[in-house]
């Protein structure tokens, strides 16, 4: 079923068109009533004038033609006024003789409700057989009757006329009004749509810009319009809110960075102490497992702290602090070598495949090798951790003149599609894949890749498993920059 749009522009245009349409219909009704009454008054006045003119002519004939018969006098009086749509009938009050104009053709003019007396002329609109015969099928006949007492020979006079010309005129006026209403509504609808669109255009631009404002891009502001209207006030309020959010976010990130920095030293000392105690207690095998577990947990805490430091610093500064020409191949090889140690323990093999298109040089980018190494180590560690025993983790690197693409594939259970939009959010974890991680690794990957002007994507494989793909601009196309929001 067709659904009407629910946009503000559509509603504003619809409300205006509805109000304008009701106004036009009201005006049409008023104009129709006024015109209809005016035309009927004019018609009655003309009909009465003709009847009065015939009566005056009969009075004049009384003075000049006293020897003429009643019929001859009537026919002489009405003959100059006969027309196709005017009819006359005169009845003598003394003799009862009835004389009609020739176009009546033997019919009697209706007299219902037209009993005439000294009260003046009476009017009536009639339909039926006589009206159909005189004027045509469905015609309305307007009849006026009057009694003449001033003559030597009193009589009653009835004059009638077809309302067909009046009805045709009213029909033409109504059709013209209807056409004008339709045209006016169409023009008003188009005008209201254009005006509403122009009025709401700043809001649409604000919405488009606001879509690119995330926690990583709180330093961006909405452009203020030149007009000092309500939209400008709203944009100013939004920008003030973003300023407060940015300050709070930076304070939060600094707090995390400071806490992580303060924790790193005591954790490193604690790790050394554990290692020393393990060597001192080597003669007590029952404590070896305890010290191994303790060292593993301390190492995990140190790694988490380092991750927090990397992530918060990158998000606070939003730019690369150390930039150099980096060989992506070397960075990936070192990341594979580090991941291979843990992979062997889990009986997982890391299989690299490097390729480049014909004519492409060594895959170099401009950036920070340490940060890139952290990102790829996180991807490989994640893939190894979720690969079943005896399976492989495939690392493909493909270089072109425009970009370097690195794909990491595992053969694990995959990630449900509903989690994909949030995988790179800080602290977000998928219940089936958390594996004891803090939910920071993929957030670091996304932050580091975007700092280098690249993108990272995730997809499930048909045969099972998951693939993360990093695309980085090659050195010839990359200009090191701060993070920028994807807005127009």
Q: For residues 234 and 62, which has the higher predicted lDDT (pLDDT)?
A: 234
Residue 397 pLDDT exceeds 70: yes
| Beta-sheet pairing, 392-399 with 455-460 | unpaired
Residue among 430, 427, 488 at smallest CA distance from 458: 430
Residue with tokens 């600094």: 254
Instruction: Work out the average pLDDT over 251-260.
Output: 66
Most confident region among 35-39, 144-148, 314-318, 449-453 by mean pLDDT: 35-39
The CATH class of the 212-318 domain is mainly alpha
Of residues 332 and 280, the one with the higher pLDDT is: 332
Q: For 108-114, which contacts have Cβ atoms below 8 Å and span 24 or more sequence positions? A: 109/143, 109/158, 109/160, 110/141, 110/143, 110/160, 111/145, 111/158, 114/143, 114/145, 114/158
**Per-residue pLDDT at 482:** 40
Q: How far is CA 192 from the centre of its chain?
A: 16
Query: In sequence order, what are the beta bridge partners of 356?
Result: 399
What local confidence, expressed as pLDDT, does residue 456 receive? Answer: 92
Length of the chain: 488
Does the structure show a pLDDT above 90 at 471?
Answer: yes
CA distance 43 to 95: 32
Lowest mean pLDDT among 45-49, 410-414, 422-426: 422-426
The pLDDT, as a whole number, for residue 253 is: 65
Please report the pLDDT score of residue 112 as a whole number: 46
Q: Give 368 or 230, the one with higher predicted confidence.
A: 368
Distance CA(408)–CA(265), nearest Å, equals 33
Residues 270-278, mean pLDDT to the nearest whole number? 76
Q: Which CATH superfamily is domain 8-169 in?
A: PAS domain (3.30.450.20)
Residues 313, 352: contact at Cβ < 8 Å?
no
Answer yes or no: is pLDDT of 425 > 80. no
Q: In the numeric block, which tokens belong to residue 363?
A: 């895959």
Here the tokens at position 276 are: 């020393």
Whether the per-residue pLDDT at 461 is higher than 80: the answer is yes
Average pLDDT over residues 337-360: 84
pTM score, whole prediction: 0.48
Q: How confident is the model at residue 256 (pLDDT cuts 50, 70, 90)?
A: low
Distances (CA, A) of 37 to 14, 50, 256, 318, 480: 34, 20, 85, 79, 82
d(CA 195, CA 171) in angstroms, rounded, equals 35
- What's the confidence (pLDDT) of residue 479? 44
> What are the φ/ψ torsions at residue 102 (nearest 5 degrees)?
-65, -30
Rounded to whole angstroms, how far apart are CA atoms 253 and 191?
51
The Cα–Cα gap between 315 and 308 comes to 10
Q: Among 202, 238, 198, 233, which Cα is nearest to 218's? A: 238
Separation of alpha carbons 17 and 193, rounded Å: 10
Bigger pLDDT: 23 or 222?
Answer: 23
CB atoms within 10 A of CB 375: 28
Lowest-pLDDT choice from 59-68, 128-137, 227-236, 329-338: 59-68
Q: At the topology level of CATH, where does 324-473 sit?
A: Heat Shock Protein 90 (3.30.565)
Q: What is the pLDDT of residue 293?
A: 77
Domain ranges of the chain: 8-169, 212-318, 324-473
pLDDT at residue 487 tops 60: no
Mean predicted confidence (pLDDT) in 244-250:
76
Q: What is the pLDDT of residue 488?
A: 26
Rounded Cα distance between 10 and 16, Å, is 10
pLDDT higher than 90, residue 407: yes
Task: With beta carbons less than 8 A apart as the criterion, state whether 92 and 70 touch.
Answer: yes
Among 141, 138, 109, 101, smallest CA distance to 124 is for 141
Decide if 8-169 and 212-318 have a common fold: no
For position 485, what pLDDT does the model report?
35
């Amino acid at each position: 079923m067709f659904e009407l749009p629910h946009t503000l522009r559509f509603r504003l245009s619809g409300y205006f068109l509805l109000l304008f349409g009701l106004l036009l219909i009201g005006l049409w009704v008023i104009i129709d009533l006024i015109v209809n009454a005016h035309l009927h008054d004019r018609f009655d006045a003309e009909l009465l004038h003709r009847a009065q003119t015939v009566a005056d002519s009969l009075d004049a004939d009384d003075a000049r033609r006293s020897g003429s018969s009643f019929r001859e006098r009537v026919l002489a009086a009405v003959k100059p006024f006969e027309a196709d749509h005017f009819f006359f009938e005169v009845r003598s009050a003394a003799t009862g003789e009835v004389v009609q104009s020739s176009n009546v053709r033997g019919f009697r003019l209706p007299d219902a409700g037209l009993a005439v007396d000294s009260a003046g002329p009476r009017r009536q609109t009639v339909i039926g057989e006589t009206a159909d015969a005189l004027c045509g099928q469905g015609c309305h006949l307007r009849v006026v009757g009057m009694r003449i007492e001033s003559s030597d020979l009193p009589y009653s006079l009835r004059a009638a006329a077809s309302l067909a010309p009046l009805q045709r005129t009213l029909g033409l006026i109504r059709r013209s009004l209807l056409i004008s209403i339709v045209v006016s509504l169409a023009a008003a609808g188009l005008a209201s749509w254009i005006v509403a669109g122009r009025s709401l255009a700043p809001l649409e631009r604000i919405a488009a810009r606001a879509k690119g404002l995330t926690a990583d891009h709180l330093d961006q502001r909405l452009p203020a319009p030149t007009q000092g209207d309500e939209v400008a006030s709203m944009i100013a309020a939004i920008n003030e809110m973003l300023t407060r959010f940015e300050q709070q976010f930076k304070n939060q990130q600094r707090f995390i960075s400071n806490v992580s920095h303060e924790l790193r030293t005591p954790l490193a000392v604690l790790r050394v102490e554990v290692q020393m105690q393990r060597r001192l207690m080597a003669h007590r095998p029952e404590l070896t497992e305890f010290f191994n577990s303790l060292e593993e947990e301390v190492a995990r805490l140190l790694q988490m702290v380092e991750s927090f430091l990397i992530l918060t610093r990158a998000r606070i500064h939003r730019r690369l602090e150390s930039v150099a020409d980096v060989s992506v191949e070397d960075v990936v090889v070192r990341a594979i070598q580090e991941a291979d140690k843990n992979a062997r323990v889990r009986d997982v093999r890391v299989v690299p495949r490097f390729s480049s298109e014909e004519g492409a040089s060594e895959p170099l980018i401009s950036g920070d090798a340490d940060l890139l190494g952290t990102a790829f180590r996180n991807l490989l560690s994640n893939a190894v951790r979720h690969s079943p025993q005896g399976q492989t983790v495939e690392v493909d690197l493909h270089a072109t003149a425009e970009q370097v693409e690195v794909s990491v594939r595992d053969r694990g259970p995959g990630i449900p599609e509903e989690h994909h939009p949030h995988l790179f959010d800080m602290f977000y974890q998928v219940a089936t894949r958390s594996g004891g991680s803090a939910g920071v690794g993929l957030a670091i990957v996304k932050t580091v890749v975007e700092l280098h002007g690249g993108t990272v994507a995730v997809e499930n494989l048909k045969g099972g498993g998951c693939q993360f793909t990093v695309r980085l601009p090659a050195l010839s196309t990359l200009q090191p920059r701060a993070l920028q929001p994807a807005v127009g």
